[in-house]
Structure 1
Amino acid sequence: MAAPSKVGLDYYPRSTDLYEDVKFIPVKIKYGYICYAIYDILLELIYRDKGYYVDKRKNVVVKIAYMLQGKYGPDTDIVEGVIEMLVAERLFSADHYKQGIITSRRVQETYYIATARRKNISVDPNIWMLSLPEMKALGNNKGILSIFEKCDINEVNVDINEVNVDIYEQREREIEREKKRKENKKKEREKELSSLSINTCGTFSNVFLTDGDLEYLKAHYPASWQRKIDNLSEYMRATGKEYSDHLATLVRWAKQDEEKNKKELKKDNFNNFQGSSYTEEEKKKILELKKARQKGAAT
């Protein structure tokens, strides 16, 4: 008897800049860092189960709450709230979520690449989000590509007469809807950030700081707070890099600058001593005096 075909994944690649994704900002403001743990567990459930989606109706919320149980573990209401905000921030597909399915284009791209060498593989076209051109651009996954290249839709258990729409045209319409959703989401995010009293700052208005954050910067760096914000804004725009907490980044950069200035000052003092008009004998006596003072301070 042949072994059953594998469906999910044993492991999956993870982005190293995940926690710096700006989509997490509204979720983190409301629920804190628990949102990252819930997101990670969702990915684990997706990749381990079907590989490219998980059915939320199969006690997903309860499972996550159980996996995070402990002194500071969230209840099911918090887990549900985090998932809904992750969907609202487009980290998962809103259209699929309405049907009880949790998935995303990034998840499906990962699954497509990870299963490229599998011989027997099947996906549900009603859940699959990637178009044929998009899949071909990612690489050659014969198992999945063949599903969408075959003319006989019955082989993938889809009755074209019941669906009454060409699957490829449907994918193209989905791409257009996705563009419009992103535009609308950008407007909604700007409105939401405004309601949360978050100010858009910097040369390119891409640094997000609360009123309290700005007061902190003005109090600690009265002469340079605006320049520090503009430097961060210009660096992010030039490099495409994002940070999850802009205040923390500014403070860290300021501390690094202070350490650098101290080292340069120490180096300058040493060079000034070396280039002074002291005689060699005087320099020797000064060094001996310094050593004596250090020894006395140590005792």
Structure 2
Amino acid sequence: MGRNRKVGLDWWPRDIGLYRDPKLRAARQKFGVLGPYVYECLLDIAYGDKGYYIAYSGEGREDTLWQLREYTAGLENVTIETLAAVVDQLAASGLFHAALYERGFLTSKRIQMGYFLATVTRNAVPINFDIWLLTEQEMREKNPSGKSFVLRAFISRTENAIYRTENAIYCTENPQSREEQRTEEQSTVEQSRPEKRKQLRLILVGRPNWKKN
């Protein structure tokens, strides 16, 4: 049985001046230091578990809020409802991708770039490209050698998608394959044989009888 692939990170790079990020201003003004602290906790949860996102819907949302409650256990008057409001504010401030947040995911280009850089040397990385935000160009700029598994998987997926699209267009424009065309031609030949035999009988019936001299 193969060994399970590692997904999360053992460490993640913390940006200098993270708490001074302008996008954290609204959360800091509304919730004080709790705003940026919750954001940092969410980064820790994302990088340590899924690696580049948090499942934030249904049980995933409940589990995340309870983890945040554990992170903030030493702080007074911090309820689950307050933590949920902080997360909503962080998303509203653009710290998480808006469309994916509506779908129940907490992620961003910043988070994904951090994960991408931390996994460049890994031989295999499970990625859900349906929620992956980085472009090929953005990844190539950080990994010019192109050795990153994530980058190679992204390129392969893109090329396969292009091939499938071109193949679908070809099939639409050419609904009959060569084999189907050969089958149709053979069928036409088979259908024409009885008609030819009928014509031959008519010719023979209409031919005059020749008498011997």
TM-score of the aligned structures, taking structure 1 as reference length: 0.49
Q: What per-residue deviation string (whole Å, max 9, x for no partner) do you get for residues 30-86 of structure 1?
A: 111111221111001100111000101212112211331235151111111111111
**Count of residues paired in the alignment:** 156
The separation in 2 between residues aligned to 1:141 and 1:29, in whole angstroms, is 43
The separation in 1 between residues aligned to 2:75 and 2:107, in whole angstroms, is 30
Let me know the Cα RMSD of the aligned residues. Answer: 1.8
Which one of the candidate residues 108, 111, 123 is aligned to 1:119?
Answer: 123
- 1:78 equivalent to 2:82? Answer yes
Tell me the residue number matched to 2:32.
32
Q: Which amino acid in the other structure matches residue 143 of structure 1? A: F
Which one of the candidate residues 84, 90, 93 is aligned to 2:94?
Answer: 90
- 1:142 equivalent to 2:148? Answer yes
Q: What per-residue deviation string (whole Å, max 9, x for no partner) do you get for residues 86-110 of structure 1?
A: 1111111111110110001000001
- Does the CA contact (< 8 Å) of 1:52 and 1:103 recur in 2? yes
- Does the CA contact (< 8 Å) of 2:8 and 2:50 recur in 1? yes
Q: How does 1:258-269 map to 2 (within 5 A)?
A: none
The separation in 2 between residues aligned to 1:9 and 1:127, in whole angstroms, is 19
Q: What per-residue deviation string (whole Å, max 9, x for no partner) do you get for residues 257-293 of structure 1?
A: xxxxxxxxxxxxxxxxxxxxxxxxxxxxxxxxxxxxx
Larger radius of gyration: 2
The separation in 2 between residues aligned to 1:107 and 1:37, in whole angstroms, is 16
- 1:56 equivalent to 2:60? Answer no
1:122 is displaced (CA, Å) by: 2.3
Cα–Cα, structure 1 residues 73 and 65, in superposed 2: closer, same or farther, change >3 Å? Answer: farther
The separation in 1 between residues aligned to 2:49 and 2:129, in whole angstroms, is 17
Q: How does 1:136-215 map to 2 (within 5 A)?
A: 136-139=140-143, 140-150=146-156, 151-152=159-160
| Larger relative contact order (CA 8 Å, sep ≥ 6) | 2
Tell me the residue number matched to 2:11.
11
- 1:67 equivalent to 2:71? Answer yes
- Does the CA contact (< 8 Å) of 1:86 and 1:92 recur in 2? yes
Tell me the residue number matched to 1:256.
none
Where 2:4 maps in the other structure, the secondary structure is coil
- Does the CA contact (< 8 Å) of 1:9 and 1:48 recur in 2? yes
The separation in 1 between residues aligned to 2:16 and 2:71, in whole angstroms, is 23
The runs of 4+ residues in structure 1 deviating greater than 4 Å are: none
- Does the CA contact (< 8 Å) of 1:122 and 1:143 recur in 2? no
- Does the CA contact (< 8 Å) of 1:41 and 1:64 recur in 2? yes
Q: Which amino acid in the other structure matches residue 37 of structure 1? A: Y
Tell me the residue number matched to 1:287.
none
1:142 is displaced (CA, Å) by: 2.7
The separation in 2 between residues aligned to 1:44 and 1:129, in whole angstroms, is 19
Q: How does 1:249-264 map to 2 (within 5 A)?
A: none
Where 1:152 maps in the other structure, the secondary structure is helix
- Does the CA contact (< 8 Å) of 1:122 and 1:147 recur in 2? no
